[in-house]
Amino acid sequence: MSVASGPEPVPHYDTKWWGWGDAGKRAELSAGARERLREELGIDPAAVSPPAPLESFELAEASPVPGPVVAAVGREFVFDGLEDRLRHAAGSGYPDLVRLRQGAISDAPDAVVLPADAAQVAAVLEACTREGVAVVPFGGGTSVVGGVDPVRGEHSTLISLDLRRLKLVELDATSLTARLGPGLRGPEAETALAGLGTTLGHYPQSYEYATIGGFAATRSAGQASCGYGRFDDMVTAIELQAPTGAMRTLQTPHTAAGPSLRELVVGSEGTLGVITEVTCRVHQAPELEAYEGWMAADFAAGREIVRTLAQRGEAPDVLRLSDEEETRQSLAMSATDGLAKRALDTYLKVRRREGGCLIICGWKGLREHVRRRRSTAAKVLRRGGAVALGSRAGDSWQRGRYEGPYLRDELLGAGVFVETLETSHTWSRLEHLYTEVGSAIRQALAAGGTAGIVMCHISHAYADGASLYYTFLARSRAGQEIEQWREVKTAACEAIVRAEGTITHHHAVGRDHAPHMEAEVGALGIDALRAVKERLDPAGIMNPGKLLP
């Protein structure tokens, strides 16, 4: 069974060019959030700076796109207007958004090219190789690590290869696999699969705008990863169009035929070629979804609960543990939705508990299966000393799980430096990593003359370890926002490397993390990746400046 959408004749933009998501949607700062900004960061949330007008941008003059590149897709699918170029000049990281809001982006793709299928992708890459044109594959533009920056390298002309027209959905209901086009946004894929009685089950925070191709290219991890797995766990076959030809892996549950070429393509971030098709495992659509909240005594106790659940194979599909600071700030900043702070304090005191760390659990599946798994997990949670908060806390999290990027836009407008980063380690070394990275962020903020709020949560747990996801806020240094970001980001990354954590658990490498890749894979590993790139992309046109230092 298959579902396919027709090609769009022109780009249709339904998102903000200067921020995140739906152009008509904004997040409202709650009274608690405004109070925290005043008391802890010394920021007046009413003093908002609007983004610069679109007309204020002065992009570098576009180099002409060679005729053979234009001919590969047709003139009607090559766009070089100001908004087209600007929307493909940056991702969604803090430096990107600061530059967009300030009208400070100058370099941009010379044109945006929209191929219709894999054959046109091949024709574009062949022409770009011959003409010396750099190519940046573009999906949802949600990279937070500089993954779509228009880095030209040695090339005078650069195009953004927007894959929005590649939207195949073909289900093998017997095998429970689906062939998916790279240009499908998360909701488009889920809607099509739901119509066929199935689900992919991949829900990162970028879900609403990120694409299937982006999920594969960056080794994305969704919020239900404990149940459905990371995206790389879901991929059974993949097709890559490289400048030197096409490479398709065999669709099979497992193979012992040498090193995995599928794994080589997944996570390649557009540096080897363009992902033109992804085959994924899917699941029967869930009969029931249930979410609930618990309160652990502290972060250490919460970690032990999460570890026990993961190692016994009893983890909920969604399992998230906030540390004390994230719990405190989340409750203080929350609106009236969910458990009100005063009622929660009273509830916990009755149970001889003050404060603690919030755990969110979520299950999906057959009704009886969900009931049985909830009961089993509840026993582990209670034995670990956690107090049940009920479904209202879980439902509140579920309803607001995609609101964070909208809230970030509001904070940026109020002069808040707000950034995230993530890493992971084994259970035996997770506490050390947690302490070292948190301390590095706080010290870097203090050295820059700003007080900060540093929060952390675990959102992906395994039998041998877990992820750590940091969010930090501070007053931005007006006129020095990028320098401030670089100071803190560098300090955090260096702390991760010293503690031997991964430089990225699910945000990918992009441009921001490339300097730390050698620490991750070693000098010989870098040489091996370069050798592969030279074979697949000898002219070096594919996404220059990313992944490899």
Catalytic sites, residue numbers: 469
Give, in degrees to the nearest 5, the angle at Cα 266 between 155 and 259.
110
Query: How far apart (Å, rounded) are the C-alpha atoms in residues 295 and 231?
Result: 29
Bridge partner list, 238 = 278
Written as six digits, the tokens of 391 are 């479904």
Collapsed DSSP state (helix, strand, coil) of residue 451? coil
The C-alpha atoms of residue 183 and residue 308 are separated, in whole angstroms, by: 38
Nearest-CA neighbor of 141 among 107, 185, 83? 185
Q: What is the spatial distance between Cα 323 and Cα 430, in angstroms, rounded to a whole number?
A: 13
Scanning the structure block, which residue is given the tokens 């675990």?
458
Helix, strand, or coil (residue 32): helix
CA 389 – CA 528 distance, rounded (Å): 50
* Residue whose structure tokens are 């203090």: 446
Phi, psi values for residue 231, rounded to 5°: -65, -35
C-alpha 129/C-alpha 135 separation (Å) is 9
Q: What is the DSSP string of 125-188?
A: HHHHHHHTEEEEEESS---SSSTT----TT-SEEEEEE-TT---EEEETTTTEEEE-TT-BHHH
Q: Are 133 and 83 in contact (CB under 8 A)?
A: no
- The closest of 152, 130, 133, 129 to 78, measured between CA atoms, is 133
Structure tokens, 223? 């919020």
